[in-house]
């Protein structure tokens, strides 16, 4: 079996890669450099001449060849490599007529618990969405910001330390009061706090038993993340911005996280994700795959969730909603009935019931792209809109 074509597809906010073989088997993958999909697409185009004519089942060899080819790395390159890797695993599963997880040692669970996206621009909206998630049967919610989803175009007035931290703690308390202990709260900071703020905030919300505190500060410095983790009593989650197994190894060595947020579409695909999960398992770290993308990403993540013992939760943005970028970044976006939904890009989505994704039994990753999605759902490049403080300085959000 040989690779005959590699096709890149930009649709809505997503980058997909389709790989075809001379035996008629087609695999699909997705790239996770989600603010820079154009750059990632060009990286795929650079890899195509190597892939044509190769045996698609030599997945590890191709991973190493492409990863080590130019001695450079970065999110755009790794997003491209991840998409290719996922597509190759999809081909392998279809070739052997089994789900990908069967090739990775077989499943250890029949369903994967998810955390559902909840957001809002004010406390009333957040509480309302939390209660809706509970009514739908979800037992965990995420993207749960104590600073709300305010427009990035609005100047940020930080105020005093006491007000900033005090208000954030009170909001988490309101979230817990709204749903009781029937919902796990995955608190997302999006690197919003400096070190003393992160420690004070974490100690303030400890009483509300959050599932984890994600990216309490910028994840670039492993020592800083480890410093925070050592001084609070809440598990730290990080990793959605890491794009190599080595970065996860370093944060693990520094004891900087108790939950790894591996992005299968960014960290090297299914190959990279499985290696990271194995490292984490040996060191008592749980895995919560990052997934702000399409149902193709969800399907790839589910293959990992199915077969690793240290799986904790699966991020699930919801297939019946618009893209995460449109919901949380494009503040002028107004979704109407009948508009694009993420699930439209595939022929059939992975079933979600009562807060769990049902592990699929179809060969490959379990989903296939719908027809003509590039034409039906034109690609929209993400605008660069970085929030500023009232004093004109840049704010992380």
The 8-class DSSP code of residue 193 comes to S
Dihedral, CA of residue 397, residue 16, residue 11 and residue 317, to nearest 10: -50
For residue 242 the two structure tokens come to 């890491």
Contact 44, 52 (CB under 8 A): no
Q: Pick the closest to residue 168 from 133, 199, 140 (CA basis).
A: 199
**Mind giving me the DSSP string for 15-62?**
EEEEEEETTS-EEEEEE--TT-HHHHHHHHHHHHHHHTTS-TT-HHHH
For residue 21 the two structure tokens come to 């073989």
Give the whole-angstrom CA distance, residue 29 versus residue 56. 13
The CA-atom distances, in angstroms, between 37 and each of 21, 94, 319, 380 are 25, 27, 20, 10
Give the whole-angstrom CA distance, residue 356 versus residue 377. 28
Q: How many CB atoms lie within 10 A of CB 95?
A: 18
Q: Pick the closest to residue 146 from 180, 120, 115 (CA basis).
A: 120
What are the residue numbers of the active site? 190, 290
Give the whole-angstrom CA distance, residue 241 versus residue 134. 29
Strands 3-11 and 14-21 turn out to be antiparallel
Q: Pick the closest to residue 305 from 291, 319, 294 (CA basis).
A: 291
For residue 278 the two structure tokens come to 């194995």
What's the residue count for the chain?
397
Q: Pick the closest to residue 237 from 306, 169, 184, 300 (CA basis).
A: 184
């Amino acid at each position: 079996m040989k690779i005959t074509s590699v096709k890149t597809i930009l649709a809505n906010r997503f980058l997909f890669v389709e790989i075809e073989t001379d035996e008629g088997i087609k695999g699909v993958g997705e790239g996770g450099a989600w603010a820079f999909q154009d750059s990632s697409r060009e990286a795929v185009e650079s890899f195509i001449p190597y892939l044509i004519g190769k045996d698609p089942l030599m997945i590890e060899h191709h991973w190493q060849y492409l990863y080590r080819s130019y001695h450079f790395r970065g999110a755009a390159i790794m997003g491209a490599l991840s998409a290719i890797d996922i597509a190759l695993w999809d081909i392998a599963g279809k070739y052997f007529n089994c789900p990908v997880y069967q090739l990775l040692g077989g499943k250890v669970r029949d369903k994967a618990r998810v955390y559902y996206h909840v957001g809002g621009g004010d406390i009333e909206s957040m509480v309302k969405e939390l209660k809706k998630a509970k009514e739908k049967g979800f037992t965990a919610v995420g993207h749960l910001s104590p600073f709300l989803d305010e427009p990035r175009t609005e100047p940020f007035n930080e105020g005093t330390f006491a007000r900033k931290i005090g208000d954030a703690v009170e909001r988490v308390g309101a979230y817990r009061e709204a749903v009781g202990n029937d919902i796990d709260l995955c608190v997302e900071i999006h690197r919003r706090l400096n070190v003393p703020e992160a420690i004070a905030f974490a100690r303030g919300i400890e009483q509300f038993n959050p599932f984890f505190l994600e990216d309490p500060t910028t994840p670039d410095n492993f020592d800083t993340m480890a410093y925070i983790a050592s001084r609070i009593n809440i598990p730290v989650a990080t990793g959605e911005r890491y794009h190599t197994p080595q970065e996860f190894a370093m944060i693990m060595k520094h004891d900087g996280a108790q939950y790894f947020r591996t992005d299968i579409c960014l960290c090297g695909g299914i190959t990279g994700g499985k290696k990271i999960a194995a490292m984490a398992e040996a060191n008592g770290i749980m895995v919560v795959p990052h997934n702000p993308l399409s149902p193709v990403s969800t399907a790839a993540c589910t293959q990992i969730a199915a077969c690793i013992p240290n799986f904790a939760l699966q991020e699930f943005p919801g297939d019946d909603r618009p893209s995460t970028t449109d919901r949380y970044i494009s503040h002028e976006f107004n979704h109407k009935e009948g508009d694009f939904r993420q699930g439209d890009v595939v022929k059939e989505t992975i079933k979600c019931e009562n807060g769990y994704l049902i592990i699929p039994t179809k060969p490959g990753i379990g989903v296939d792209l719908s027809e003509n999605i590039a034409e039906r759902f034109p690609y929209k490049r993400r605008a660069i809109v970085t929030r500023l403080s009232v004093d004109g300085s840049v704010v992380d959000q």
